[in-house]
Structure 1
Amino acid sequence: MRLTDEQVVIIKQAAHEVFGDDVSVKLFGSRLNDSARGGDIDLLVESTASIEDKMQKMLTLTARLQLRLGDQPIDILVVDPTTSLNPVHRHAMKTAQVL
């Protein structure tokens, strides 16, 4: 996993600030490959409860992370029981690792 311990703490803290303590925060995509370089930070935020204002919260989390981690590309998927899963969601859920 190509995130520092400090980056993991920052990501988890910001996600819990925005979405609450009952969400799971996972990393998927190219940052899981230790031999790769570059790439954006792909995050999957999962909740067993419905999340209100998902889009607004996703944008808020993105902004907080860019302020705290520096201006870098961050992609966030949010999945709750109301989410219509598409292939990207399924791939993320299958391959992601908990932070």
Structure 2
Amino acid sequence: MRLTHIQKQVICESAVKYFGADAHVWLFGSRVDDESKGGDIDLYIESQSQDAAGLITAKLQFLRECHKKIGEQKIDVVLRRAGQSLDLPIYRIARQTGVLLQ
């Protein structure tokens, strides 16, 4: 996994702050591969919140805080709210190939 300890800590702490202590965060994509170089930080977050508008706000605040603390780095967030019946392929791929951070 190609995240520094600080990056992982910032991501996890920010996820708790904006999505709640029961949120789960996976790192997926090229950053999971230790042999790769570069690449953006791809995160898949499952939140227990049902409030779609609140989750959008939380996502923006989460990204702002991450950029502020770890620098202007491309971070992509795939967000899934609890109880969502739609099961997109990206959700399965992120969970199957990703690394659970929290």
Tell me if both proteins adopt one fold, taking TM over 0.5 as the criterion.
Answer: yes
Query: 1:38 aligns to what?
Result: 38
- The residue number in structure 2 matching 1:94 is 96
Residue 49 of structure 2 is matched in structure 1 by 50
**2:19 aligned with 1:19:** yes
TM-score with structure 2 setting the length: 0.87
Determine if contact 2:31/2:42 at 8 Å carries over to the other structure. yes
Partners of 2:15 and 2:62 within 8 A in 1: yes
Which deviates more from structure 2 when the two are superposed, residues 87-96 or residues 76-85? 76-85
C-alpha distance in structure 2 between counterparts of 1:83 and 1:73, whole Å? 29
Decide whether the 8 Å contact of 1:24 with 1:46 is kept in 2: yes
Query: What's the Cα RMSD here?
Result: 1.4
Which blocks of at least 5 consecutive residues in structure 2 are unaligned? Answer: none
**Is contact 1:28-1:43 (8 Å) kept?**
yes
CA distance 1:83–1:16, shift in 2 (3 Å): farther
Instruction: State the 1:79 CA deviation.
Output: 1.5
What fraction of aligned residue pairs are identical, expressed as a percent? 37
Aligned length: 98
Deviations 1:10-49 (A, max 9, x none): 11001111011111111111000001111000111113x3
Matched, 1:72 2:73: yes
1:8 aligns with 2:8: yes
Q: TM-score, normalised by structure 1?
A: 0.89
